[in-house]
Amino acid sequence: MPAYKKSKKSYGQENANFVGQLVTRGGKIIRRFVRDYDISCDLKEKNIFAALNNGQLKDLQETHALWESHGMHDREMLDKRGIQEHIKSDAYVGGVIDHSGGHFHPLNLALGEASAIQQGGGTIYENTLVVDIEYADDAIKVITEFGTVTCKQAVLCGNAYLNKVIPKLTDRVMPVSTQIIATEPLGDLADQLLPTDVCVEDVRYILDYYRLSADKRMLFGGGTVYGGQDPADITAKIRPNMNRIFPELRDVKIDYAWSGNFALSFSRVPQMGKLHERVYFAHGYSGHGVTGSHLFGQILADAINGKTKEFDAFAQIPWIPFPGGRALRVPYSVMGSWWYALKDTTGM
């Protein structure tokens, strides 16, 4: 369920209006960074939300109407014939194409942004494990395994990788792993399967997502493991999903497979706030962290510089804990995923 619909249902119309007005800003920030800092990250335009049955298509139609109500007129409904102009698969009954969306090489974007930070005088310390944070009225001390950093403000953005360093944040989110496989370069077959070179995600609870790389590989992702553990065989877990969408890829070679964690919030709505007057945090993007973190980064930067209107609006949105606390959040989520997977399968 998109964050806007979740916000309206759980937190009321006012908060939903606020979230709805921010939906596209993260993508605009990314495009500005790519342009201003000349970042080579294979940026491509447009993405598609795909429906596998009529129930999902109806949900997308309702979501499309909500987007329209907030002035977002760059999304277009697609029927079965329309979606097949972009995706040569019989799996989908329709969908929505987002003309404001896009896709790119995320590591190259991060490396380009890191280079821009360094060129601007910033310093980046890698492979430095934080073990504790000490709060004081005049400064914050970040304790690492190699030494201590004293700063005026700290921003905690470890998301699914904070571990137990910040106990107050541990129970707010749960690490969940998602997996991706990359085929061998497909040549002309890539253009046949995705002729408009869009990226795609379906709208199931446990979804598939895929796109073409710059060298014409199919990057196909999906799957979830609650708690953040990697599956024993990523290719065996993900490849059947790819073959169902594109039987033409049944015999192609899988060159790479990897897994990584995102931070799931119970409500699927990201969280932002303060642990101390000088310590901010942002996390819980629930699988949409690339655009979400760029948006939140801008809001946090504004707040640190005294412009707190948007930060205050997000910070006051209540967070909902996982039922059962830390001990039961994984089994609870697994049971919930079984139920939603059944709904996905039956089209309920």
Phi and psi at residue 167, to the nearest 5°: -55, -35
The pTM score is 0.87
Round to whole Å and give the CA distance between 181 and 252. Answer: 12
Residue 199 has pLDDT above 90, yes or no: yes
Separation between Cα atoms, residue 92 and residue 16, nearest integer Å: 29
CB atoms near residue 314 (< 10 Å): 22
Token couple for 44: 């491509």
Q: What are phi and psi of 218, to 5 degrees?
A: -85, 120
Would you give the DSSP letter of residue 127? S
- Integer CA distances (angstroms), 327 to 323, 331, 336, in order: 9, 8, 16
Domain 148-286+318-348 has CATH 3.30.310: no
pLDDT, one tens digit per residue, over 92-148 is 999 999 999 999 999 999 999 999 999 999 999 888 999 999 998 889 999 999 999
**What pLDDT is attached to residue 55?**
92
| DSSP-assigned letters across all residues of 22-42 | HTTHHHHHHHHHHHHTT--S-
Residue with tokens 């205050």: 312
Query: In the 3-class helix/strand/coil scheme, how is 247-267 assigned residue by residue?
Result: HHHCCCCEEEEEEEEEEEECC
The full set of domain ranges for the chain reads 148-286+318-348
Q: pLDDT digit string (tens) for 25-64?
A: 999 999 999 999 999 999 999 999 999 999 999 999 999 9
